[in-house]
Amino acid sequence: MYLETRIVDHGGQVRRNQPQMNDDDWSAVEDMVRDELLFWGGTGLNPVFSLTDKGWSTTAALRRWRGEGKRVADFDGAWLGHALNRGAL
């Protein structure tokens, strides 16, 4: 959700030395790019991210999940692919 905020409020710019981003977070970013949730542009020192359509849908589902009082750690986005395939989102 931090990365979504950077995309929406800061043009997708994230500094590699941000205290909010550790090595595990960067690994997760690479996973999100592989899963076609994010596009990674910019340079190695100054990356710029944007969400794909699939990323926007997943982010909206996660925000709803959080809005219903559920924990991010319990979020399982697997159902999202089924909903997208059925045209439900």
Q: Are 12 and 50 in contact (CB under 8 A)?
A: yes
Looking at the whole model, is its pTM more than 0.85? no
Q: Which of 72, 21, 85 is nearest to 47 (CA)?
A: 21
Average pLDDT value over all residues in the chain? 82
Q: What is the pLDDT of residues 13-48, one digit of tens each?
A: 987 667 777 888 888 889 999 999 999 999 888 899
Selected residue with higher pLDDT from 54 and 73: 54
Residue ranges and CATH numbers for the domains of the chain are 2-85 (1.10.10)
The three-class DSSP label of residue 41 is strand
pLDDT-based confidence at residue 56 (cuts at 50, 70, 90): very high
